[in-house]
Chain A
Amino acid sequence: AQSVTQLGSHVSVSEGALVLLRCNYSSSVPPYLFWYVQYPNQGLQLLLKYTTGATLVKGINGFEAEFKKSETSFHLTKPSAHMSDAAEYFCAVTPTGTASKLTFGTGTRLQVTL
């Protein structure tokens, strides 16, 4: 069974500061990995995904994540936070099968302060 752990349910950064949201996964085989963002009262939107190929993945809104197999991690970063980045972020994992049921982490709420 796969699982995802997101360290820190709340993260607060100043505008312009580095954003780092942590995600570690547990899987018997290398999975596919995702980051989703959820703005208040909305559904989830895909930020980026890792399936195969380059381990540094760039997504929308200036976010990127690096798949590190040796550390079983897929941390999300952004060099400079903007007020509009305030949202909840979910890391998710799926096995490389056809049904591809996503397993989500518990989420990290990002607060951006002036």
Chain B
Amino acid sequence: NAGVTQTPKFRILKIGQSMTLQCAQDMNHNYMYWYRQDPGMGLKLIYYSVGAGITDKGEVPNGYNVSRSTTEDFPLRLELAAPSQTSVYFCASRTRTLNNYGYTFGSGTRLTVV
């Protein structure tokens, strides 16, 4: 049982480049989330999904896009990378069960935009 798998672990992008951060979970979780973590700022929600085909914006969606074509995968797309997107990105998932609100997090992708 791999849990939540994020790839790549590290990436350096040049300004204006694009890339996709991959996130996959094998727990059949309905809910998936993308957060970014900046020093001293905690985690901010970028996008989330409550099931395949359904996505919605979080607190800081500008500059990002997502899709959810399958239950397992929830990729995050950066179209025109900017230095402000230098951050650590975490994907998380959880079940739909109302009594289970604990998120399972991936190990993160550390992105630097130069």
A positions within 8 Å CB-CB of B: 9, 32, 34, 36, 41-46, 49, 51, 90, 94, 98-107
Are A90 and B42 in touch, CB under 8 angstroms? yes
CA distance in complex: A15, B102 (Å)? 29
Q: Is B11 an interface residue (CB 8 A)?
A: no
Are B103 and A99 in touch, CB under 8 angstroms? no
Q: Which residues of B contact A34 (CB under 8 A)?
A: 101-102
Are B33 and A43 in touch, CB under 8 angstroms? no
CA distance in complex: A101, B41 (Å)? 17
Are B107 and A43 in touch, CB under 8 angstroms? yes
Q: Which residues of A contact B35 (CB under 8 A)?
A: 104
> Other than the known A44-B92, A46-B103, A103-B45, what 16 A-B pairs have Cβ atoms closer than 8 Å?
A32-B101, A36-B105, A43-B90, A44-B105, A45-B105, A94-B101, A98-B50, A98-B96, A99-B56, A101-B45, A101-B48, A102-B45, A104-B35, A104-B42, A104-B44, A106-B41
Q: List 30 A-B contacts (CB under 8 A).
A: A36-B105, A41-B107, A41-B108, A42-B107, A43-B105, A43-B106, A43-B108, A44-B43, A44-B92, A44-B103, A45-B105, A46-B102, A49-B101, A90-B42, A98-B50, A98-B96, A99-B48, A99-B50, A99-B56, A100-B101, A101-B45, A101-B58, A102-B45, A102-B103, A104-B42, A105-B42, A106-B41, A106-B42, A107-B40, A107-B42
B positions within 8 Å CB-CB of A: 4, 31, 33, 35, 40-45, 48, 50, 56, 58, 90, 92, 94, 96, 98-99, 101-103, 105-108
Residue in A34, A98, A102 whose Cβ sees the most chain B Cβ within 10 Å: A102
Are A90 and B48 in touch, CB under 8 angstroms? no
With A34-B101, A46-B103, A51-B99 as contacts: A100 and B40 at CB distance below 8 Å: no
With A99-B31, A100-B31, A101-B45 as contacts: A106 and B101 at CB distance below 8 Å: no
